[in-house]
Structure 1
Amino acid sequence: MAFDFILRNARIAGRSGEPVDIAIKDGRIANIAPAITDDAPSEDAGGRLVVPGFVDTHIHLDKSCILDRCRSEQGTLPEAIAQVAAAKRAFTEDDVYARGRRTLEKAILQGTTHMRTHVEVDPRIGLTSFNAIKRLKNDYAWGIDLEICVFPQEGLINDPGTEELLIDACENGADLIGGCPYTDSDPNGQIARIFAIARRFDIDIDFHLDFDLDTSWMDIDEVCRQTEASSYGGRVAVGHVTKLSALPAEKLEAVAKQLAAAGVAVTVLPATDLFLMGRGSDHSVPRGVTPAHRLAAHGVTCSLATNNVLNPFTPFGDCSLVRMANLYANIAQTGTMSDIAGCLNLVTASPARLMNLAGYGIEVGYPADLVVLDCQSEAMAVAEVAQPLMGLKNGRKSFVRPSGFLCFPM
């Protein structure tokens, strides 16, 4: 067989042993072997680690890069919601597209090959942002698979006209639907309506949920109940769930078992959750970041994701999921090499399961979505915030970044 391209001398994440060659044909992995004899164009990975692309399960492209239009004086969730609610009234389709493009290009350069973006839909913004993100999905398909989750940021039951817009978006290309019960006058009512819409269109669900540190009440119970009642296990995810970070060990274990039994996945947003939570404390400030690795140990599918970039929810961000894994490893105080390596799994294979991605991984016959990292092991990828040096999407280069080198004096 004549191959199109060969990535040589590559260490495949999740596999032990010596580096191998990865041959590509027609956009798919055609062979993996220690030494492939073929005169196809090739590049030497230099024994570096290769991963099947990073997977970002929770980001907001539509409201990224708006720091110049908003204030962040209190650093609280209500302030962030209010600031963006005011700013988005002036959004245009071209404006959303331009800011989303800036963020999406950063993500591609950081090695992200699959992404789920949450897009606000309500009577103030209508389908403006949704239409812009649909254009981005099409225009950047060469570099990333973009999944669109429409959701009501400011409520549903208490916001007439929003449900009709959500249905309109689902009829016109939304990949899944989300919810935000904590902003609604009737959280359980919103959860029920989101499940009803999802069943109507046979699409998955991804909620923003339990986003504070008050453990006296949680919406997670109702989401798990509705998931089981709808036979939707494996098709529901929840993001933030910062309340879980404030639970004692035995209660966290009980919730973990509940989530695993219901088939509800969890996305933790380290940067945003760390920035917004604990604002009421003037000492011993809680981190507010749910321990994803402890949930995963009980069988919960978990991911780490970006959430927001350069806006009042998170006035930082370069879209690096390696950096996010490193941030989480610091917050969660993971110290063993196996635990640190496990953090890389939370931005690769585990979020791929959360998104129910078919053909994700480095196996013969799978799409050739590959990213070369400037390191030799999963643990060091996280520990050193290893730079992505090259990416392939469906077998074609999507980016190249030169490795750094010192200029010694002569």
Structure 2
Amino acid sequence: MIAHGRAVPTLHNATLPDGRIVDVHLDGGRVRDVVPAAGLPPVGDGLDLAGHLLLTAPAEPHAHLDKALSFDEIRPPMGNLDAAIAAWENHTPTLTVEGIAERARRAAMLLLGNGTTAVRTHVNLLRGDDPLRGIRALVAVREELADLVDIQIVAMAPYFASDEAIHAALDLGAEFVGGHPHQTLDPSGNLRRLLAIAQARKVGVDMHTDEQLNPMMLTLEELAHLVRHWPGSMPVTAGHCVSLGVVERDVLDRVIGAVKASGIGIVSLPITNLYLQGWGDPVATPRGLTALRALLDAGVRVAGGADNVRDPYNPLGRSDALETAMLMVTAGHLSVGEAYRAVSDGARDVMGLPVAGVRRGASAELMAIRASSLEEAVAAAPHDRVVLRRGRLVSVSRTSRSVAVPTRSERPEPAAVPMSS
């Protein structure tokens, strides 16, 4: 256990994605300098990262820490988004602040151990007399883990959440207004209502957007037009954007143009959308991802996230950004470099976090992983990792493996069989 972490002055012998081996000097939570490695052993609190690839630490732009790790206690049926929503809604009367906080804490620490030093979590406002149980739980976890991981909270308002409950969530410490207008009976009206609350409170929004395969459902386009003149102090994020991946090219170009003009950040969530989407399409099943290539080529700000982890919306998930990056390559057809940028620099950009990484003056949010290249890191996702947050050591993972070595049999070779002529 590393209590609160220690400041690390120098990272020695680290490998960068371009193959250079460097020493990285840190000071005050930032990268002071990056120089060719001197090949010297570490002194004092320095770390020897020989054999490790040094990367910008991942950030998770779209989590559900209030739901995370609940699969085993709910045991929901496998199924699509509607089935997942029903399973969660049936379970919510049993939720307590303490129970939500316990699972959220474990989920946040799993993310941290895998390299993620910043998380934006959506937190549902609940039915009943105490709709803010999840918000109170996550505010407590955010304060408890403040020295280890940055946690941003989105007050996710289902259709039944009152304006008063949303305002109360913001008063308790939520930083963004969220919701899922496309799942309501009046998507446009619900979207405008949530935006009006955000404007009144001068906060940003992070919407679940068009999480379905119906190409006619495009609240993203309306969102882009409505927030086009919002100030930078009120950032706008749209997650999922599934329907954008199945529209015709002319519609795609039109919507992407509006999104770029508005400055909206788009978050793709491959593992959960690959699981939830397409259950009704047994032939040529769609992947359920947004239009990643078109968005990137247009210069839209794009991030990748894990979304749900081991809950009714996704029975799987490793709380590892490299899992997300891998799926953005295999299912989204991004390059390995593009995919890793989406879960690191791209995620931090969408989350409004300071620039980080192995560059002079950047915030020292770093992950060192035992790999020789970025391709190896994403493909193998080695567990051996060193994680720094603002230049402080917050997690170290080490593994060992012993494999039997094949030996030549000591049995005599079979005698040769004479050949007859």
TM-score when normalising by structure 2: 0.88
Report matched runs for 1:156-171 at 5 Å: 159=160, 162-171=162-171
**Larger displacement relative to structure 2 (303-312 or 382-391):** 382-391
Aligned 8 A contact 2:71 2:315 in 1? yes
SS in 2 for 1:342: helix
Aligned 8 A contact 2:139 2:172 in 1? no
C-alpha deviation, 1:375, in angstroms:
1.8
Report matched runs for 1:220-235 at 5 Å: 220-231=220-231, 235=235
Percent of pairs identical after alignment? 26
The answer to whether the aligner puts 1:58 opposite 2:62 as a matched pair is: yes
C-alpha deviation, 1:197, in angstroms:
2.0
SS in 1 for 2:395: strand
**Cα–Cα, structure 1 residues 340 and 364, in superposed 2: closer, same or farther, change >3 Å?**
closer
C-alpha deviation, 1:27, in angstroms:
3.1
Report matched runs for 1:252-271 at 5 Å: 252-271=252-271
SS in 2 for 1:363: coil
Indicate the residue corresponding to 1:138 in structure 2: 143
Indicate the residue corresponding to 1:343 in structure 2: 339
**Cα–Cα, structure 1 residues 388 and 307, in superposed 2: closer, same or farther, change >3 Å?**
farther
One-letter code of the match for 1:41? D
C-alpha deviation, 1:361, in angstroms:
2.7
The answer to whether the aligner puts 1:201 opposite 2:204 as a matched pair is: no
SS in 2 for 1:267: strand
Aligned 8 A contact 2:224 2:262 in 1? yes
Runs (5+) with no aligned partner, structure 1: none
The answer to whether the aligner puts 1:148 opposite 2:153 as a matched pair is: yes
Aligned 8 A contact 1:326 1:385 in 2? no
Aligned 8 A contact 2:203 2:234 in 1? no
| Residue 387 (structure 2) aligned to one of 376, 379, 391 | 391
- Spell out, residue by residue over 1:252-288, the C-alpha distance to the aligned partner (whole angstroms, 9 max, x if none): 2332222111211111111111111111112221111
Aligned 8 A contact 2:59 2:119 in 1? yes
**Cα–Cα, structure 1 residues 291 and 386, in superposed 2: closer, same or farther, change >3 Å?**
farther
**Cα–Cα, structure 1 residues 232 and 193, in superposed 2: closer, same or farther, change >3 Å?**
farther
Indicate the residue corresponding to 2:305 in structure 1: 305
| Residue 357 (structure 1) aligned to one of 353, 356, 359 | 353
Distance 1:342 1:183 in 2: 31
SS in 2 for 1:147: strand
C-alpha deviation, 1:199, in angstroms:
2.0
**Larger displacement relative to structure 2 (347-356 or 231-240):** 231-240
One-letter code of the match for 1:48? H
Higher Cα Rg: structure 1 or 2?
Answer: 2
C-alpha deviation, 1:33, in angstroms:
1.5
SS in 2 for 1:174: coil
SS in 1 for 2:142: helix
| Residue 119 (structure 2) aligned to one of 115, 118, 122 | 115
One-letter code of the match for 1:53? A
Report matched runs for 1:4-403 at 5 Å: 4-13=8-17, 16=18, 18-35=20-37, 39-73=43-77, 75-124=79-128, 125-152=130-157, 154-155=158-159, 159=160, 162-231=162-231, 235-334=235-334, 339-387=335-383, 389-403=385-399
**Larger displacement relative to structure 2 (214-223 or 72-81):** 72-81
C-alpha deviation, 1:313, in angstroms:
0.7
What value does the CA root-mean-square deviation take over the aligned residues? 2.3
Aligned 8 A contact 1:234 1:354 in 2? no
One-letter code of the match for 1:34? P
Aligned 8 A contact 2:217 2:243 in 1? no
SS in 2 for 1:228: coil
Matched residue pairs, number? 397
- Spell out, residue by residue over 1:190-229, the C-alpha distance to the aligned partner (whole angstroms, 9 max, x if none): 2112222222222211100111111123111210111115
- Spell out, residue by residue over 1:354-395, the C-alpha distance to the aligned partner (whole angstroms, 9 max, x if none): 111124233334332211022233333223334451111222
C-alpha deviation, 1:404, in angstroms:
4.2
**Larger displacement relative to structure 2 (260-269 or 44-53):** 44-53
Distance 2:199 2:16 in 1: 39
**Cα–Cα, structure 1 residues 347 and 193, in superposed 2: closer, same or farther, change >3 Å?**
same
Distance 2:23 2:191 in 1: 48
TM-score when normalising by structure 1: 0.90
Aligned 8 A contact 1:58 1:116 in 2? yes
Aligned 8 A contact 2:176 2:205 in 1? yes
Distance 2:175 2:372 in 1: 36
C-alpha deviation, 1:405, in angstroms:
4.4
- Spell out, residue by residue over 1:100-144, the C-alpha distance to the aligned partner (whole angstroms, 9 max, x if none): 112111101110011100001144351111111111111112221
Distance 1:264 1:367 in 2: 24
Distance 1:74 1:100 in 2: 23
- Spell out, residue by residue over 1:157-211, the C-alpha distance to the aligned partner (whole angstroms, 9 max, x if none): xx2x522111111122112111210232322122112222222222211100111
Aligned 8 A contact 1:175 1:203 in 2? yes
C-alpha deviation, 1:46, in angstroms:
1.4
Runs (5+) with no aligned partner, structure 2: 1-6, 408-421
**Cα–Cα, structure 1 residues 299 and 74, in superposed 2: closer, same or farther, change >3 Å?**
same
- Spell out, residue by residue over 1:228-259, the C-alpha distance to the aligned partner (whole angstroms, 9 max, x if none): 15456981111111111212444323322221
One-letter code of the match for 2:148? G
Aligned 8 A contact 1:253 1:295 in 2? no
**Larger displacement relative to structure 2 (352-361 or 53-62):** 352-361
Aligned 8 A contact 1:20 1:32 in 2? yes
C-alpha deviation, 1:76, in angstroms:
1.4
**Larger displacement relative to structure 2 (241-250 or 360-369):** 360-369
SS in 1 for 2:303: strand
